[in-house]
Structure 1
């Protein structure tokens, strides 16, 4: 009795959000699933690894958060704008497969220009030596993303490769990419991560160290922006985006459902706790 038809009959301005994995229609709509399944079927999981490795679900939960929660939020906010303007609400069908597929549109547009191939290991994101992840002498990783020519030129200059015969040809000569990647891999492997961080991070060479969330919380940039905080032993990231440049400071960690009763009482539903427990 809590579906959109019943609720919107009481309040036609209601914006009713439905986030599911497979959506409200289609042959898989009644089936169970999880983030990795939705990302896989949507096409989003296909490129999430080197070509010679199995695709692995991104740690950031690409489907549930990216293709699901973010699109649900966008739909709800859009519906609220519509309801305020027209007095008419809407039902938001936020399917994780829809959102995960929609996030591929940038790569699909690059497919038209040849930057993305239909075979793994032959696209800019998984084969270009200037857009890749490299292991360092201490087993840690760094990333380079010098796509634009000015950044690529700077990267070669800082690494001492500007006059190297293996790098003097066109940046986009795919035939030269395997040799260049091997050269860069050997170079980064010769020094620990901190060395490359000190050398490249202060430049515009499009460089970034690969950090765990715990390490990221201690990075000078993340600390300066107060991105992470720890309360009661719980590490958490600050809400995003920011409004008027101000960071929102998270409150104390709490157990799931700790505020349900106070929220329901604020809505005039003082008896909600017993009903919630029964359901």
Structure 2
């Protein structure tokens, strides 16, 4: 079984150094989750199709970093045996098949854990391993739609707005999968036993909606788009268009940040209505929009840069890549996160 190294190579350092992960090639949340595990130091071996086909190769090039690769035909008995031998010496297996597919291929959790009882068998789906929709195809947008998350995103009076695939595939999917794998590994350290991790995008996104559900229960959230505190409805937590067509993001939630916003805009707080009353939000929005429309984006960005107003320019991808903050940290684009450093002995 010949193993090749992907572009970028395998790092072999970090908190998960020494951990071996077998990734059964998929799209979306599976490669992202395995990229995170590789960035944390794990050795990730991706099992790809023997015919050389790689779905969405250009889309996933960045997600492919830090891997070893092996090509196997999982419909061939000899290649399945090769995979199972690889699993025997591994800590984690990650798959993103529809429910039942891994079992039909002879590589389901019962088979793999029967051979390697310490294995963490991680499964990534949109709908979960069971339930009425378990075998139904879907994508990020569909999972968001059924959780209630998509309904909450968008401008007042307009249709829902798709938040790229960040919320479902990567937030509610991949990162919950990684959390499940790490939790299972922690449990294995004391019990010696592996387990199956059932990560579903609908479950992860549902968990992420906890604060919104709490606000709704407290009567602080309406089931309308663009009229609430954190959905762009509040005039002090939204985006504005500038004279040059650029945009600014305003996040002046706290009182002192709001005061800094008014100061920067040259507005007298005493002349403005109470911002805590949503009935006053349309008036405040017009006032702020008129002020921001008098200057270009970069003018306002420079003016607010050293203040507590929480005002930042809305950058394009190219602009973000060259922003001084990202350059100073080496954090853009798509750099590994989080970062680690060892505490110095005796430091209090």
Q: What TM-score range do you get, normalising by the shorter chain?
A: 0.7 to 0.9
Shift of 1:217: 0.7
Q: CA deviation at 1:87?
A: 1.2
User: C-alpha separation between the residues in 2 aligned to 1:85 and 1:30?
Assistant: 35
How far has the Cα of 1:146 moved from its partner? 0.8
Cα separation, 2, equivalents of 1:116 and 1:202: 32
Count of aligned positions: 236
The within-5 A match list for 1:15-30 is 15-30=120-135
Aligned-pair CA distance for 1:164:
5.5
CA distance in 2, matches of 1:114, 1:226: 42
Matched, 1:193 2:297: yes
Q: Which of 124, 143, 149 matches 2:255?
A: 149
Aligned residue for 1:214? 318
Of 221, 225, 230, 1:120 maps to: 225
Q: Which 5+ residue runs of structure 1 have no aligned equivalent?
A: 229-235, 246-279
Q: CA–CA distance in 2 between the matches of 1:62 and 1:163?
A: 37
Query: Is 1:56 matched with 2:161?
Result: yes
Deviation at 1:139, TM superposition (A): 1.2
In the alignment, which of 109, 133, 144 is matched to residue 239 of structure 2? Answer: 133
Aligned to 2:175: 70
> In structure 2, how many angstroms separate the alpha carbons of the residues matched to 1:239 and 1:115?
36
Q: List, as ranges, runs of 4+ consecutive aligned residues in structure 1 with deviation greater than 4 Å.
A: none
Q: Structure 1 residue 150: deviation in Å?
A: 1.2
- 1:38 correspondence with 2:143: yes
Counterparts of 2:171 and 2:127, CA distance in 1: 15
1:159 aligns with 2:294: no
Aligned to 2:279: 175
1:131–1:143 contact (8 Å) kept in structure 2? yes
Residue 103 of structure 1 deviates from its aligned partner by 0.9
Match of 1:241 in 2: 338
SS at match of 2:150: coil
SS at match of 1:19: strand
Alpha carbons 1:129, 1:177 under 8 Å: kept: yes
Instruction: Give the structure-1-normalised TM-score.
Output: 0.81
Contact kept, 8 Å, 1:153 with 1:162, in 2: the verdict is no
In 2, the alpha carbon distance for the partners of 1:217 and 1:116 equals: 35
Residue 60 of structure 1: how far off its partner (Å): 5.1
Q: TM-score, normalised by structure 2?
A: 0.65
Q: Distance in 2 between matches of 1:13 and 1:175?
A: 59
In 1, the alpha carbon distance for the partners of 2:157 and 2:295 equals: 25
RMSD of aligned alpha carbons: 1.5
